[in-house]
Structures are given as C-alpha cells and as structure tokens.
Amino acid sequence: MKVLLVSVNRETEPFTAAPLGLALVATALRRAGHDVNALDLLFAEAPDVLLKNKIASVSPELVAVSVRNIESSSRFLLPDYKETIALIKRETSAPVIIGGPGYSIMPKAALEFLGADYGMAGEGEVSVPMLADALQGRTPISSVPGLCRFEGGAYIQNPPSPLAADSFFMPAWDLFPAEKYDMLGIQSKRGCSFSCVYCTYPGLEGTKMRLRPPAEVAREMADALDRGLSAPFYFVDNIFNNPPEHASAICDEIISLGIKPSFGCLASPVGLDPELLEKMKRAGCESVEIGADSLSDRALLKLGKNFSKKEAVESIIAAKKAGLICLVFLILGGPGEDIDTLKETFDALEDVQPDKVFAVAGVRIYPGTPLARLAVKEGLISPGDPLMFPQFYVSDRLGDNLYSVAEDYFRTHPDWVCYPAKGIIQEMRPVSKPENVSWDAFAREVFEKVLLEVPALLRPIARKAVGKKAQITASRGSGKVVSEDVRDAFLSETPRPFQGPMREALKRLGLLDG
C-alpha cells in the first residue's frame, strides 16, 4: 500500500524539531512491505501548495498525520491540524489517520474535532502497518491495537498493544530533511514510574519502564553521524536518568564506540550525581534540563514530586560544576502554591543561578491526570470536560496575582523565560517600557473597546502584550500612540486561530477596511 506520512508541526521555537514519531512509523511500514513517502511542512513557504503537489505525485492509499502537540507556549494548534486534514480530504479519497502524543491524550474529542477517518491512540509502530493491512482486507479493523473511529455515530477504541523494549525501530531519517533540523530526537525508553499530578506520560506510555538496550541507542547515534547528520541529539525520554544506571550504560556505550555526538536531555534531580554528570559530559552531553518544577518542599509535595528542594538545588550545582549548560524547568501556580512558596523558589534561583530558566505560570489540565480529578473536586472543570481546549489550574491562594508576580520577577532576568500558560497568547519576555510615549485620547478609547472583544480569560495578558507593542511602535515614530498603532498591535499579537474574529471586530469599529 502507498502511504503518505505528513508532519504538520510549524513551530520553530525554541528550536526546529525532527518528527521522530513519524520516522519510526515509516521504518515499521517499510518492514511490513508498504511503499512509504513523507512530507514535513515545517520549512515550507507555501505548505498548502507543497502538500497538494505531494498528494498528486504520490497518489496515496492512506495518509497518516502526526499530531505532536495540542498547543505551543503561545497558541492553540489544533485548528491548524484541522485545516490541513480538510485540505487532504479535498485532494484525495484515501482514508486519513491521525496519531501522536498530542492526539493520544484525548483521542475521542480530537478525532471528532479534526475530522479524520481514523485515530491511533498510543504507539503507532505496530498499529499503523496493521491498519494498512486491514484496509487491504488482510486483517479485520477490530484487530488493530489502539485504533479509534466512529461507526454509526458510536465511538469505538480498540485496546492498545505497547511495543516491547527490544522491538524499538531505527528512525527513517532518509525520508525527511534531517540536515535542516536544529535537533534530532532519540528515545532510550518508554514508560514513566513517577506520579506527577499534571503529567500525561503514565497514561500515554504506561507506568512500566521499557528500556532499550544501551548498545542499540548508541548505535542509532553512530548511524546518524555516519550519514553526515550533524544536528545535536535530544533524548525525548520523559526522564533520561530514570533509572540512573541505564543512562550510565548508554554513556558507556557511546564512549566505547569512540563517536563524538552532541546531545541534551531532560533529567530528574533523583540520581543526578556528579559521577553520572561527569560521564554524560564525556559522552557528549552539552546541556541538561532539570525538571525541578519548584524549589519549595511544600509545592513539590503537592505536585507529586519524589525529590526535595535540597536534592533539586544540589543537582543544579552539580550540573554546573560538571561543565554542562544547566536549564531549570519550573511550573508555577500549582496546588497549594502561594506567595511564600513562589518567593522560596525565586530566592533559591538567586542562590544557585542556573544558566537558563524556563517556567510556565499556570498548569495545563489534561484528562486522566490527578490534577484533572482535583480540578473537578474544586469545581474548576466539569467531570465530563474532554479538556481539548486549554484550561489551566492556578492555586486559589494566588489567582491572577500569579501572573503579575511571575512577570515582575522574570523581568529582572532577561535570559530567563516565563510563559503565562493561562491564555497561551503572549510570552512574558521582559520588554523595556519605551520612554516618552503618550497615548492619543481616541487611541486609548479604541484600545479599551477592542480589548472587550478578547475573551475575558485572556484579557489581562492581551492588555499587557498589545499595550507594549503599540507603545514600542509609537516610540519609533511620533512618540504618541494613535489608533493605527493599536490596530496593528492587535493584529500582530493575536494568534492565528483568533485572527478571523479579531479582524471582524476591527472592521465593526471602523479600524479595518472590509
């Protein structure tokens, strides 16, 4: 069967990432005897034209679309996927299947919203080739693990079949522009044994750890280097050093092969000792991203973490001492968070001074997680909410004050980043307030009127983002914000899914020609 794999992801921040999941499915399809083509729209200047031409040239009998993420740090992404799937269905009668980690979190709601023929919940290396066989009449549809579909209006989802630890595939990078990516993903395990309240990994990959043979992981890196791929590797494992002895064995294999890869990873403070960090450095690790979430014991306990503030701080110090670039991930505003726990975290950051900090203010609520159950209990969401559209948990001890406190702190650290998760509109990068900028009275009136067109949930963030943008524009010209500056700022700062309603609002107010 002729199968076309399509990666729709167009996000380039913080780096361009290779579609590892599709590359693994491609290898599985090839081994099963299918004719595989692939298209990554990441670098396309005219993605719709490129996709139409690819469909015309391939004449696929099955199209598989990867849904990698539901949203980025700044916008909701599923409308983009919906548009692409609609285009595919206009161009070919071949069935369309969607899959990937983003899709698998909420398979029923996403399948209904995106309008594909099938969905694949869970791992696709076994299931997608089986679906191709089933569509050719070789096996029944009901036997395909994880397959989701609507039949007669009823939603049906087959049980999954997780891949065995010794059955992982090598990615088919020859089908993708691998030399263009900033990072090449590599996976050394699946499964998560932790119990973080917000996390989807245990639901997606199971709680039982499936560890790839370390020699196989090192060989995958060597093969990529032999092909001339020079991009750094990034371990997409939920945690690279869980268990620590597996990470150590991978480093041993890399060192024994004599290869010189460059790689980064996400690590837990647990087991991230100086010995392992030194070995990681010798194997080619350049950066370690420590998933601390908080540097307050009280907040860590509520987040379900299995380490203490002391362990987190010590791991940051050890990573820096080992000569690695140390980035710390934080999740602010979770259950029980208050001004005191925020201050404790910020004070600890001042003490240890990691190279980078990446924080989110507000916690995305995903279905099936302990946080979702807590949110139902607290009356924040309804029990039946599929949570496809972004909703965020913020401790009632902080409320919207969380955003102003976080923004004030991160403004003092230009190299650190904090995203206000609630709203996913504007990243909170420190921006200097333009000097000597005033507002025309009519522009201020227009600003407030347009702001009312923004959903109430997002209005505080939009007020700051659009106001700053208008002032920056004015500072480069007359020094006074006028209505045109306001119009242009709203158009610039409004994410693509909300551009239509924003343009209509501006037309109604006479700020945009029909």
Q: What is the mean pLDDT of residues 423-444?
A: 60
Confidence band of 187 (pLDDT split at 50, 70, 90): very high
Domain topology for 2-157:
Rossmann fold (3.40.50)
For the cut 50, the answer to whether the pLDDT of residue 429 exceeds it is: no
- 230-239, 286-295, 504-513: least confident range: 504-513
Which has the closest alpha carbon to 125: 72, 171, 88, 93? 171
Hey, which CATH number is domain 183-420, 3.20.20.70, 3.40.50.720, 3.10.310.10, 3.30.930.10?
3.20.20.70
Give whole-number Cα distances, 73 to 69, 121, 128, 139, 390, in Å.
Answer: 10, 24, 30, 41, 11
User: b/e for 67-80, b at 16 or more Cβ within 10 A?
Assistant: bbbbbbbbbbbbeb
275-286 average pLDDT score: 96
User: Residue 312: pLDDT above 90?
Assistant: yes
pLDDT in tens, 388-398: 998 999 999 99
Please compute, for residue 45, the number of CA atoms within 13 A of its CA located in the half-sphere on the CB side.
0
C-beta atoms surrounding 436 within 10 Å: 8
Residue 165: CB atoms within 10 Å? 16
Question: pTM value?
Answer: 0.80
- Which among 460, 462, 452 is positioned nearest to 506, based on CA atoms? 452
Chain centroid to Cα 126, Å, comes to 24
Among 438, 443, 439, 455, residue whose Cα is nearest residue 495? 455
Mean pLDDT of 136-141: 93
The predicted pLDDT at position 427 comes to 35
- DSSP characters over 223-271: HHHHTT--SPEEE-SS-TTSSHHHHHHHHHHHHHHT----EEEEE-STT
Quick check: 215 pLDDT over 90? Answer: yes
What is the rounded CA–CA span in Å between residue 300 and residue 292?
8
Percent above pLDDT 70 for the chain: 94
Going from N- to C-terminal start, the domains of the chain cover 2-157, 183-420, 438-508
Per-residue tokens: 151: 């039949």
Contact status, residue 290 vs residue 315, Cβ threshold 8 Å: yes
- Confidence class for position 459, pLDDT limits 50, 70, 90: low
Asked if residues 468 and 411 have their Cβ atoms less than 8 Å apart, the reply is no
Cβ atoms of 332 and 409 within 8 Å: the answer is: no
- Report the C-alpha gap between 201 and 198 in whole angstroms: 9
- In this structure, what DSSP letter does residue 123 have? -
Give the model's confidence band at 477: pLDDT under 50 very low, under 70 low, under 90 confident, else very high: confident
* Nearest of 358, 27, 375 to residue 170 by alpha carbon: 27
CA-CA-CA-CA torsion sign (113, 114, 115, 117): negative
Query: What is the 3 state secondary structure string of 159-178?
Result: CCCCCCHHHCCCCCHHHCCH
Query: How would you label 257-266 residue by residue, b for 16+ Cβ within 10 Å and e otherwise?
Result: bebebebbbb
Average pLDDT, the chain: 91
147: exposed, middle or buried (Cβ count in 10 Å: 0-12, 13-18, 19+): buried
2-157 and 183-420: identical CATH topology: no
Farthest CA pair distance, the chain: 73
Chain segment 11-53, per-residue pLDDT in tens = 887 788 899 999 999 999 999 999 999 999 999 999 999 999 9
